[in-house]
Structure 1
Amino acid sequence: MKIKWSGKRTLIALVLLAGVGLLYVQGTDQRREQGENGTPASSETSACRVESTDDGVRVRSAPAIDPANVVDELAAGEEADASTEVRNGFRKLAEGRWVSVDYTRPLEGTTC
């Protein structure tokens, strides 16, 4: 069966294709806003933040104990934004910034 494409049929096909694309984009945004189990993420919790439990807590460039990778220190009670990623006993604060989980604790009301 051969279909003759007129200008009107082409326009209708393009509009339908654009509508499907729009629905896909909206669904992607909705999935991104939901938690891992498909339920909306709770508004009562926020991103991970940690507090230093000791003075002079070393911030390292990699998740390993090496004197050469110390890039900063946290004072006792100092707070920092953090990632949920933990590797080798170190929590990622940012790119190239790791801190020991033994000398920090998640702040209440945050998700770590």
Structure 2
Amino acid sequence: MPVKVKWSGKRTLVTLVLLGGIGLLYVQGSDQRREQGQEGGAPASSDTSACRVESTEDGVRVRSAPAIDPANVVDELASGEEVDASTEVKNDFRKLSEGRWVSVDYTRPLEGTTC
């Protein structure tokens, strides 16, 4: 059974403002993705678009530089955690993003990606 709604001027105005706000947010999001080169959800950098890795152990340390130093640990990955990565490898560390590196000994490229 359909519900009848009495549309007063106030309800109509509130509805139009809400729909206009949603439309504005959508347009701004589209502009930001276009500026970042991510239209359609694709990553901006071709360096990270095709590479994705998975942690093979729990507590894999993510470092700020491609070197072992207790002071450069910035994060940890759980076993099986998947992250976007770069094809760049230095000193047996794969670059995940700016200031984030992980040992290649404790990660593996996901099937279907090119790392």
Range of TM-score over shorter length: 0.5 to 0.7
Match of 2:61 in 1: 58
Q: CA deviation at 1:83?
A: 0.2
Aligned to 2:74, what secondary structure does the other structure show? Answer: strand
Aligned to 1:63, what secondary structure does the other structure show? Answer: coil
Q: TM-score, normalised by structure 2?
A: 0.58
Match of 1:35 in 2: none
1:17-58 Cα deviation digits (max 9, x unpaired): xxxxxxxxxxxxxxxxxxxxxxxxxxxxx6100000000000
Match of 1:73 in 2: 76
1:103 to 100, 103, 106: 106
Q: TM-score, normalised by structure 1?
A: 0.59
Identity of aligned residues (%): 91
Off by >6 Å, runs of 4+ in structure 1 = none
Quick one: distance in 1 between partners of 2:102 and 2:68? 10
1:63-110 Cα deviation digits (max 9, x unpaired): 000000000000000000000000000000000000000000000000
Which has more radius of gyration? 1
2:95 to 85, 89, 92: 92
Q: Where does structure 1 lack aligned partners over 5 or more consecutive residues?
A: 1-45
- Aligned Cα root-mean-square deviation (Å): 0.7
Q: Where does structure 2 lack aligned partners over 5 or more consecutive residues?
A: 1-48
Higher helix share: 2
